[in-house]
Amino acid sequence: MFKNEEMEINLGPQHPSTHGVLRVKLRLDGETIKHCYPVIGYLHRGVEKICENKTFFQGQVWTDRMDYVAAVSNNLGWAEAVEKLMGISVPRRARYVRTLLTELNRISSHLLWLGTHAMDIGAMTVFLYAFREREEILDIFEAFCGARLTTTAFRIGGLRDDIPPGFEAKVRAFQDRFLACVDEYEELLTENRIWKKRTVGVAPISAEDCIAMGVTGPVLRAAGVAYDIRKAFPYAAYSEMQFDVPTRMEADTYARYQVRLEEMKQSHRIVQQCMDGLPEGAVMAKLPKILKSEVNEVYHAIEAPKGELGYYLVGEKGGVNPYRFHVRGPSFVNLQALPMMTEGKLLADVIAAIGTLDVVLGEVDR
């Protein structure tokens, strides 16, 4: 009659829904997943080794290329980790501008996630809406530093230049428009019956499992844990900002969607506060021309759009490059939870699960 043996299939590495080159080995019983095993490393470039052989200034450009949709966050982590290693104090104005750009980057990263995740699941229109606003943010980055994706936006000790003329008007124009745009996405998705069928109750992971697997970011917050590094270990100018940490209790794909939408609104709030309260003053600390470290080790983590992005640096005496550099990428650690979220569920849910984890393979493989 019917054969009932299990079948093994490969999802990826070139499947468009894997957001890069992720390969997932799946063992299926009918449409049910019995075993899920992610295989990574296709984009491994050895960023850590390269940065250990470059000076502290040169290392920053490599951080752009890890999570390439959130390069500004990566730059911020690098600059702050090096500053912590050497004990550099950054001017307040520079910290405000850094916060502003990082929050705009969080919005742009979430917009890319929203567009591609919705497209994976079958809602094509949202993609076009989301990319419309993302384009505007990339224009702001271009006005600030000349690059749209690989920004290298900051310098160790502050900023290379102050904000350019016309920058403020650009940001304010975006700010005025953006909240109405979020309502547009919500109109398209939040009460959409097909969207809800594909996301409600799909790929759940409990708060205990999240913490055991080291999962951070919106996935953890959608499970009810209000852990946000901006609040827990404030950096840049976040200690001076008013914002909420959105959480949900359902811990499913739909809850993560709600958390990310709410986060965009909170980021919008922070950007507004940065613009209104931007202090006067210098944007660069006084530093020697050649930065030399002492023997020290630091672990500095920031709340990247995807979760906890940690940089571990070891300095040697008189060294112009780090003795050891290690990246704790949120995508890398979060992806580890994929089997936990999908085993026993349906094949179609794997696509939703990869999308909802919001991994960027450039950061997973480094």
Partner 1 sequence: MAITKVWIEDGCIVCNACEAECADVFHVTADTCVIRADARQDGAEDENRAAKNPLKESIGASLEAAIKSAAAGCPVSVIKYEAVASEAPAKADDVDAAVNKALGMGGSVDDDIDAAVASLQAEDGGLPAKTGYVWDIKAAPNREVVMPKAAPLPSYRIFVAEQEAAKAADEAKWQKQLSDFEAAKAKAAEEGKPEPKAPVRAVPAKNETDMAFPAPTEAQAPELKRLMELLGDKVEEAFEQAGEMTCQVKKEAILEALRLCKDDAALKFEMLADETATHYPAAQGYAFSVVYHLTSVSRSRRLRLRILVPEGFEPESAEQVYPTANWLEREIFDMLGIRFAHHTNLVRILCPDDWEGFALRKDYPTLGLGQREISFREDRSGMLMKLAMEAAGNLGINLTVPKPE
Q: By the criterion CB under 8 A, which residues form the site for partner 1?
A: 40-41, 44, 46, 48-50, 52-53, 55, 57-58, 84-90, 157, 211-214, 225, 227, 232-233, 285-292, 294-299, 301, 308, 310, 312, 314-321, 323-324, 326, 328, 332-333, 336, 365-366
- Is 171 or 333 the residue whose CB approaches partner 1 more closely? 333
Q: How far apart are CA 353 and CA 139, in angstroms?
A: 31
Q: Which is nearer to partner 1, 86 or 261 (CB)?
A: 86
Q: How far is the CB of 129 from partner 1 (least distance, A)?
A: 35
Q: What is the largest distance, in Å, between two alpha-carbon atoms of the chain? A: 79
Closest contact distance (angstroms) between CB of 85 and partner 1 is 7
Task: Compute the least distance from the CB of residue 340 to partner 1, in Å.
Answer: 9
**Side chain identity, residue 342:** T
CA distance 51 to 348: 39
- Smallest separation (angstroms) from partner 1 to the CB of 65: 15
By beta-carbon proximity to partner 1, the closer residue of 320 and 346 is 320
Of the candidates 267, 198, 200, 257, the one whose C-alpha atom is nearest the C-alpha of residue 230 is: 267
DSSP per-residue string spanning 318-339: T-SS-SEEEEE-HHHHHHTTHH
Would you say 39 and 23 are in contact if contact means Cβ atoms under 8 Å apart?
Answer: yes
Q: In the complex with partner 1, which residue's Cβ is closer, 37 or 132?
A: 37
The 10 Å CB-count burial string (b at 16+, else e) for 243-255 is bebbbbeebbbbb
C-alpha span between 262 and 107 (Å, rounded): 11
- Pick between residue 201 and residue 339 the one whose CB is nearest to partner 1: 339
Select 106 or 366, whichever has its Cβ closest to partner 1.
366
CA distances from 294 to 52, 83, 104, 137, 318 (A): 15, 12, 34, 38, 6
Q: CA 303, CA 305: separation in Å to the nearest integer? A: 6
CB of 211 to partner 1, least distance (A): 5
Nearest-approach distance from CB 274 to partner 1, in angstroms: 22
d(CA 338, CA 263): 23
Nearer CB in complex with partner 1: 139/161:
161
Residues in contact with 16: Cβ distance below 8 Å, sequence separation at least 6, in sequence order? none
The minimum distance between CB 317 and partner 1, in angstroms, equals: 6
Q: How far is the CB of 325 from partner 1 (least distance, A)?
A: 9
Q: How far is CA 344 from CA 28, 77, 111, 214, 357, in A?
A: 9, 37, 30, 22, 18
Whichever of 115 and 310 has its CB closer to partner 1, that residue is 310
Strands 296-304 and 32-39: unpaired
Strand-by-strand arrangement of the 307-315 sheet: 296-304, 307-315, 324-328
Q: Which is nearer to partner 1, 167 or 312 (CB)?
A: 312
Q: How far is the CB of 86 from partner 1 (least distance, A)?
A: 6
Taking the C-alpha atoms of residue 213 and residue 333, their distance in angstroms, rounded to an integer, is 8
